[in-house]
Chain A
């Protein structure tokens, strides 16, 4: 079949994009593929192999690129704000901007889980963003406390907490 881009050379690179569950396919010739940033097949190194395994985690948005030999696999997600590519991220293990955290979220989660205590921040909140975020956090904590009170049958305590939550929810509406 002919390349979908230039419509002249034969398509040798078959690309499947899966983003947010929506699948798109493109068939390109090698020159158009390399123009768009896809590389030719290269020998698989030990690092590639391991990184490849790390890549096979569920819930990931991946772009698979296979050439006619069905060998090399590359991941070409790219941040729209700063231009960081997944390959760059893997090589440097650093993110490029706040948008990267949305784009590479699912890739990041297993990495973060293995180096940190858990995936939820419990510490300081910036005062500026504070506002509604802080109130929501306080409400969450109070709700957890209510559950404990109810378990211990401390209904008076639970009622006080419930009133506190109502007050905070009012504040939230006014934010």
Chain B
């Protein structure tokens, strides 16, 4: 079964992926922070059996993993594939993750809340992501009782998730806006609509590979539909600005753009060692090359997003069985060259 990020439509355009995350708690247990070990195990069994049981047709599409049964590499790989959060990876209490075979859905059990349900789709598909999350949420609820309040909505451990418990976000590739120092303005503008934008790779607001994530901040006092519509509209405007600016850049500095793109292509197809930062930066230029039509070379065998995921340390280690830093850089370059080799 192919994973969602192997789907080739991700490469056309600014939106790389769309994600909806729902936070839920069971009413009968204290929240994870105050859960005893025994209660934690009990709670996990209940949630897992809500998805994996004889009744539901979805059962065969999910696998359940206790985090304690996974190796460090496997855990890191899950973080790199955005299936679990880095915080979840380092927790000491009993935790479990349910993952659908196509990796569109993942359910973290006992992160900050009992249930953190996540639905991811390639490209600009936030409505699809919400529909799927909504359905899986209803499925879980057939078996368990959620903590819910008439005024405060779904009850969560942190007040910032109350109400809908929903965080909708999109991963966007914004090289033009970034290089023209427009992101500060974008940040201020989206802030007025209760949203925030931050770099996906790198510390704080820094971004490597020009990849940013936009998400809603307000979860209570608004409906799920309103959150989805808001983020759709604002993203559409950002994408529009990015694409217009990119066209302008190509028009104004054709040689510069062509040079950056072809240098990146040259490095990716020839380097013998690449750091993660370098690779992400070159891949960003590569994507610009294909999107603008400037790069007239054969596309890599796999999707850009798949490459971004696979050049990260744990995934490289799984493929090439290396962990030494120098060997990782070599494996990374080797993996990338492979994608451009015709079989």
Contacts and interface: CB of A to CB of B under 8 A. Distances in A.
Interface of A: 81-84, 92-98, 101, 108, 111-112, 115-129, 133
Interface string B119-158: 0000000000000001000100100011111111111111
Contacts of A111: 159
Contacts of A95: 31, 155-159
Contacts of A92: 33
Nearest to A83: B34
B146 A116 contact: no
Given A116-B219, A127-B141, A121 B164 contact: yes
Interface of B: 25, 27, 29-31, 33-34, 112, 134, 138, 141, 145-160, 162-164, 166, 194, 217-224
B152 A118 contact: no
A35 B275 CA distance: 57
Contacts of B151: 119-121
The 5 closest A-B pairs by CB, nearest first: A117-B221, A121-B153, A96-B34, A118-B221, A82-B30
Given A116-B163, A117-B221, A121-B153, A97 B31 contact: yes
A84 to B, nearest CB: 6
B92 to A, nearest CB: 16
A101 B152 contact: yes
A128 B141 contact: yes
Contacts of B33: 84, 92, 94, 96
B155 A123 contact: no
A123 B153 contact: yes
A116 B223 CA distance: 12
A115 B196 CA distance: 13
Name A's interface SS. Answer: loop
Contacts of B148: 125-126, 129
A82 B33 CA distance: 10
Contacts of A121: 149-154, 162-164, 220-221
Contacts of B138: 127
B218 A117 contact: yes
Nearest to A84: B34
Contacts of A115: 159-160, 217-218
A97 B141 contact: no
A67 to B, nearest CB: 30
Nearest to A121: B153
A122 B31 contact: no
Contacts of A81: 30
8 contacts: A82-B30, A94-B157, A98-B155, A116-B160, A118-B221, A119-B151, A126-B141, A129-B146
B27 A123 contact: no
Which of B147, B151, B154: most chain A CB closer than 10 A? B151
Interface centre among B27, B31, B141, B155 (most CB of A within 10 A): B31
A111 B160 CA distance: 9
